[in-house]
Chains A and B, each alone.
Chain A
Amino acid sequence: MELSVSDLAVSLGNRRVLRGVSAAFQPGRVTAILGPNGSGKSTLVRTLAGLLDADAGHVRLGAHYINRIEPRERARLIGYLPQDATVHWNVRVRDLVALGRLPHRSPFAGESEADAMAIGAALAATDTFPLAERGADQLSGGERARVLLARVLAGEPQWLLADEPLASLDPVHQLALLDQLRALAASGMGVVIVLHDLIQAARAADDVLLLKQGEVVAFGPAAEALAHQPLREAFGVEVMVIPDEQGRLLPVPIGRTK
């Protein structure tokens, strides 16, 4: 099912954060959202997840308006990984990951076999099985990020919306997580991530949406959106485009636009 926004306008308090945003995200692809600080990236992802109401325009999942879908049903379809990686209690990792199953469990029902399978699969996919019995406080930043991703994956959503999942990860874990997201997209999941790093975006994303001050600067295949002109317009930076060993074009920032 396609996840799309049309002519979206969203305010936080009295401030208009997004205006006139239209885009259609495709399942089976990784779409990166990039833009300067304060350009409305997180707001867009939260609106896509159905957590914020739009002033104007719509978010649709397939034929359905996102805010008309019953919350539990929506939670089964869309997994959202917030930027804030705080875990408020020292909960066991397996219990944290099990939270991803909440939308699948009927009230008062215990954990079903399907739940246990999905939790196990999510732990395995994120390489967090060995952490299952640890408390959340005994995790490093990288481990915590993987555990929180496992929490979303345990819900077996059709869409994964992740807000800056690479923040606070070292290069190895950044690459590992991006590989993971690519694998998920290859399995048919729609993946939308907010990123900061142009090179990582060029490496991992099929499509890129560039935002500036709440408006879309460019939306399309990564190689087109991460070219000189759109990046100059969105970030005010000049880039040098270098092909990597697989022929992907990586934009390396070299200076500010004069």
Chain B
Amino acid sequence: MNRALLLILLAALVALLFAGALMAGKVWVPFDAWFSGDPRWWIIAELRLPRALLGLAIGAGLGLTGAVLQGYLRNPLADPAVVGVSSSAALGAVAAIVVFAASAPLTIFAAAMLAACGSMLLLAGLAWRADSQVAFILAGTVLASLGGALTAFLISIAPNPFATAEIIDWIMGALTDRSFAEARLALPFIAAGSALLLLTGRALDALTLGEDAARSLGVRLRRTQLLIVLGAGLTVGASVAVTGVVGFVGLIVPHLLRPLTGAKPSALLLPSALGGAALVLAADSLVRLAPGASEIRLGVAMALLGTPFFFVLLLKMRRSAWN
């Protein structure tokens, strides 16, 4: 498909879903209420706008990170979880809840970002000398399992059931009751991280030919790796810090869009950001529309939606189509 047309269509879809996310919920706020001094406007301004903004940013960040990691590792199974940064960020947040009995968003955010930054520095250090993808993916996997194990340990020593409930709530990932405070915290980090990730396009294209050929084309692989580690750390770290772990977006979105953009990794970056934003906005709106007093967690909904969708996709695709 024509690239400009695809970007316009995706942007339009994101705009539509953003508007939908403002309208949809337990209380339906129609479009004409937005500009007429209707008291329901308050729902939008205070509750739904920050939530939709966060959904937009997080979806875009996760989609972009997934596309970059799949290109960098030349592996269609890669997603933000493989760098271990989401589980590290989650570990930081859980540690703040258990150890410091923190409940203020700022404390939890700071702890999650600190853990995310720490883990990405560690990853950069572990993979630096080797400058190969295998070292990178191994180090990331080790960090991910360490983060998961320590999180489980913290849950097991949680002082009371309330802390445990709060942690589990957190790990499942949700945009429920997020305010402008969280949006203000996370958006600059996600924007900065995404900017770093967008700089890697050409290096990712060159890596299609393998590491040696990429270097012979003048690509500095260590610089690329640093951009990716920092970019993924900031983007995913900030996302997890405000919403908990929302999986699947980074894995599915690049797969969905690859047949439309072609397989060239750089051509996939912007569309994946837009596609990720659309997916999270859509899923979060569905979560709010579901019947019942409480909401299904976004992370859970994403997995429930994502899994069957992905299976259908796998069945439909010929092997050649997803390489």
Which residues from chain A sit less than 8 Å from chain B, CB to CB? 46, 49-51, 71-76, 78-82, 84, 86-92, 95-96, 99-100, 102-103, 107, 135, 137-138, 148, 151, 155
- Pick from B10-18, B84-92, B147-155, B217-225 the stretch touching chain A: B217-225
Residues of B within 8 A of A76 (CB): 218
B218–A72 touching, CB < 8 Å: yes
Determine how close the nearest CB of chain A comes to the CB of B71; give it in whole angstroms: 8
5 CB contacts below 8 A, A to B, read A71-B218, A90-B323, A91-B264, A102-B202, A102-B205
Residues of A within 8 A of B215 (CB): 51, 71
B209–A151 touching, CB < 8 Å: yes
Q: How far is the CA of A82 from the CA of B211 in the complex (A)?
A: 10
A99–B218 touching, CB < 8 Å: no
Among A71, A82, A89, A95, the residue within 8 A (CB) of B213 is A82
A51–B320 touching, CB < 8 Å: no
Q: How far is the CA of A80 from the CA of B205 in the complex (A)?
A: 16
A87–B320 touching, CB < 8 Å: no
B207 part of interface (Cβ distance < 8 Å): yes
B210–A90 touching, CB < 8 Å: no
Q: How far is the CA of A71 from the CA of B203 in the complex (A)?
A: 13
Which residues from chain B sit less than 8 Å from chain A, CB to CB? 71, 74, 202, 205-210, 212-213, 215-220, 262-265, 320-321, 323
Among A46, A75, A91, the residue within 8 A (CB) of B262 is A91
B217–A87 touching, CB < 8 Å: no
Which of A46, A99, A138 has the most chain B CB atoms closer than 10 A to its own CB? Answer: A99
Residues of B within 8 A of A88 (CB): 74, 207-210, 323
Task: Give the nearest-CB partner of B203 in chain A.
Answer: A102
Q: How far is the CA of A84 from the CA of B213 in the complex (A)?
A: 9
B264–A92 touching, CB < 8 Å: yes
For the complex of A and B, list the 9 residue pairs with the smallest distance between their C-beta atoms, beginning with the closest.
A75-B218, A80-B216, A72-B218, A89-B263, A88-B74, A71-B218, A103-B218, A90-B263, A137-B320
Among B212, B262, B265, the residue within 8 A (CB) of A92 is B262
Residues of A within 8 A of B218 (CB): 71-76, 102-103
Which of B216, B262, B264 has the most chain A CB atoms closer than 10 A to its own CB? Answer: B216
Task: Give the nearest-CB partner of B212 in chain A.
Answer: A82
Residues of A within 8 A of B212 (CB): 46, 51, 80, 82, 84
Task: Give the nearest-CB partner of A138 in chain B.
Answer: B320
Q: How far is the CA of A10 from the CA of B132 in the complex (A)?
A: 19
Q: How far is the CA of A92 from the CA of B266 in the complex (A)?
A: 13
Residues of B within 8 A of A86 (CB): 209-210
Task: Give the nearest-CB partner of B204 in chain A.
Answer: A89
Residues of B within 8 A of A90 (CB): 263, 320-321, 323
Residues of B within 8 A of A73 (CB): 218
Determine how close the nearest CB of chain B comes to the CB of A182; give it in whole angstroms: 23
Determine how close the nearest CB of chain B comes to the CB of A99; give it in whole angstroms: 6
A89–B208 touching, CB < 8 Å: yes
Given A75-B216, A78-B216, A79-B216, the answer on whether A96 and B208 have CB atoms closer than 8 Å is: yes
Q: How far is the CA of A135 from the CA of B205 in the complex (A)?
A: 15
Known A-B contacts: A71-B215, A76-B218, A78-B216. Give 6 more (CB < 8 A).
A71-B218, A79-B216, A82-B216, A88-B74, A103-B217, A135-B320
Residues of B within 8 A of A82 (CB): 209-210, 212-213, 216
Q: How far is the CA of A35 from the CA of B155 in the complex (A)?
A: 61
Q: How far is the CA of A110 from the CA of B307 in the complex (A)?
A: 38
Among A75, A137, A148, the residue within 8 A (CB) of B217 is A75
A89–B264 touching, CB < 8 Å: yes
Q: How far is the CA of A164 from the CA of B220 in the complex (A)?
A: 25
Q: How far is the CA of A7 from the CA of B235 in the complex (A)?
A: 48
Q: How far is the CA of A76 from the CA of B205 in the complex (A)?
A: 17
Task: Give the nearest-CB partner of B210 in chain A.
Answer: A84
Task: Give the nearest-CB partner of A78 in chain B.
Answer: B216
Q: How far is the CA of A74 from the CA of B207 in the complex (A)?
A: 18
Determine how close the nearest CB of chain B comes to the CB of A168; give it in whole angstroms: 16
Residues of B within 8 A of A81 (CB): 213
Task: Give the nearest-CB partner of B71 in chain A.
Answer: A89
Given A82-B210, A89-B208, the answer on whether A49 and B320 have CB atoms closer than 8 Å is: no
Task: Give the nearest-CB partner of B76 in chain A.
Answer: A89
Which of B202, B209, B210, B220 has the most chain A CB atoms closer than 10 A to its own CB? Answer: B209
Given A71-B220, A89-B74, A102-B219, the answer on whether A80 and B213 have CB atoms closer than 8 Å is: yes
Determine how close the nearest CB of chain A comes to the CB of B16; give it in whole angstroms: 30
Residues of B within 8 A of A78 (CB): 216
Q: How far is the CA of A148 from the CA of B213 in the complex (A)?
A: 10
Determine how close the nearest CB of chain A comes to the CB of B228; give it in whole angstroms: 16
